[in-house]
Structure 1
Amino acid sequence: MDATTEPGRTAWGDAEGRRRDILASAEHLLQESGYAALTMRGIAAGAGVSAGTVYQYFGGKEEVFVALTAQRLDHIERVLADVDRTIGIAAVLREILPLITELWRRLGRSASQWEAKVLAEGRRSKDAIASITDYRRVLHQLDQTLREAAAERGQTVIDDPVLPHWVWDALIGTADDLLLGGSQQGRIKPERVVEFATEAIERSILVR
């Protein structure tokens, strides 16, 4: 686990620390067993608190999953906002690909289960709406950053609303390959996969 999600035992009265412990426990459960096995009791056990304490912070496991996703997406958004635009599109993508890979490794395989339960049941809960909003905000920042990086080099990005969605999906696909080691079966090093993918994405979104 990374430094932002290491489960701990927070001192009594530290509400923010307690919330971090709960989220760290939930993320660990998701990695180990997936969304279907995630329970408030299990989260509580991993965080060293009672189930009642967990409910003081979150209304249910759907809300916990949303908070975990938001935490990861917020980090990606901040990196996109702060990254040096002069390094070019491919290099910008290489800056965020490790974060997207980590997001996919920790939460990605649970996302489809969560979507099937929460998003596909008709009326969307406030948690589902919040999750969608976080995702859209990151895509907006991704689009803006890519356009600014292109402009720094005298390039122009294709004007199409599908562009940030396609770039995001392409990065997720690359992350999945890195995690499963698909390309390595062909004796292709991960570094080469990253280089090829990010340069290919850059070429595909520029106006010729």
Structure 2
Amino acid sequence: MNRSRPATQWGDRDQRRIDILRAGEELLRSGGYAALRMRDVADGAGISLGTVYTYFATKENLFIGVFAEHVLRMTERLRPRLEEASDFVEVFTAAANEYRDGYPVFGRQFDALALVETADALQPAVEQGLRDATAGLIGALGEALVRAGYEGDLRPAMAVLWSEVTGLANHYTTERREFLDVSWDEAVAFAARTLGRGLGIVDPAEGRT
């Protein structure tokens, strides 16, 4: 754990929350969800255990908070690439590559979004933070889809697109990748062309061999 971070001034609630989230993410990256122990988070943030609980009532809430911040940063990195994309294949490829990078830490550790559907599982502020972060990412992808030429209902299109991205990330960051002799780049390119043709925004002749 990095202990060299300058101490946050008492009363700076926003920065203290950031300290907690950073400490939590360090633990997740080093040891996965099992390593996300509240006492270790307190040590990493340089605060008391009780103070951690005033921000995040449970380990699950803390994980969701860290995950939401990850989604916000992912959207910030992805948005300029989506805006510069010349077609749907580039949009899909950028999204798939960005999502895969964080999947070993977040996607495989815990089904974060499932908690949103469980009554009283999340603190209201934590749940809203997750919803806002997710909406920002989906919105950026939806805008890119429209720029690529899609004119249909965005809801089912986004559901399929996100399922494809998630499925590819899951396959290529687990032992499942050993079952098929297909590279990540080849699979992503094929998925992008196939999905694009299904959405009517990729020329049916593109990518044929």
- Normalised by the size of structure 2, how large is the TM-score? 0.74
Give CA-to-partner distance per residue, 1:130-158, whole Å, 9 cap, x none: 3123223321221111111x13xxxx343
Cα offset for 1:49?
4.2
Cα offset for 1:168?
1.0
Q: Quote the Cα distance in structure 1 between the aligned partners of 2:121 and 2:47.
A: 32
Unaligned runs of 5+ in 2: 205-209
Q: Report the CA distance shift for 1:169/1:23 in structure 2 as closer, same or farther (over 3 A).
A: same
1:26 — aligned with what? 24
Which ranges of 4 or more aligned residues in structure 1 deviate by more than 6 Å? none
Q: Report the CA distance shift for 1:160/1:17 in structure 2 as closer, same or farther (over 3 A).
A: closer
1:9 — aligned with what? 4
Q: Quote the Cα distance in structure 2 between the aligned partners of 1:17 and 1:95.
A: 31
The answer to whether residue 162 in structure 2 is matched with residue 168 in structure 1 is: yes
Tell me which amino acid in the other structure corresponds to 1:65: F
Q: Quote the Cα distance in structure 1 between the aligned partners of 2:194 and 2:176.
A: 18
Q: Quote the Cα distance in structure 1 between the aligned partners of 2:145 and 2:92.
A: 9
Tell me which amino acid in the other structure corresponds to 1:186: L
The answer to whether residue 43 in structure 2 is matched with residue 45 in structure 1 is: yes
The answer to whether residue 130 in structure 2 is matched with residue 136 in structure 1 is: no
1:193 — aligned with what? 187
Cα offset for 1:118?
5.7
2:98 — aligned with what? 99
Sequence identity percentage = 22
Unaligned runs of 5+ in 1: 1-5
Count of residue pairs brought into register by the alignment: 196
- Normalised by the size of structure 1, how large is the TM-score? 0.74
Q: Quote the Cα distance in structure 1 between the aligned partners of 2:78 and 2:145.
A: 9
2:72 — aligned with what? 74
Q: Quote the Cα distance in structure 1 between the aligned partners of 2:197 and 2:84.
A: 17
Conserved 8 A contact 2:61-2:123: no
Query: 1:166 aligns to what SS in structure 2?
Result: helix
The answer to whether residue 146 in structure 2 is matched with residue 147 in structure 1 is: yes
Conserved 8 A contact 1:90-1:199: yes
Query: 1:182 aligns to what SS in structure 2?
Result: helix
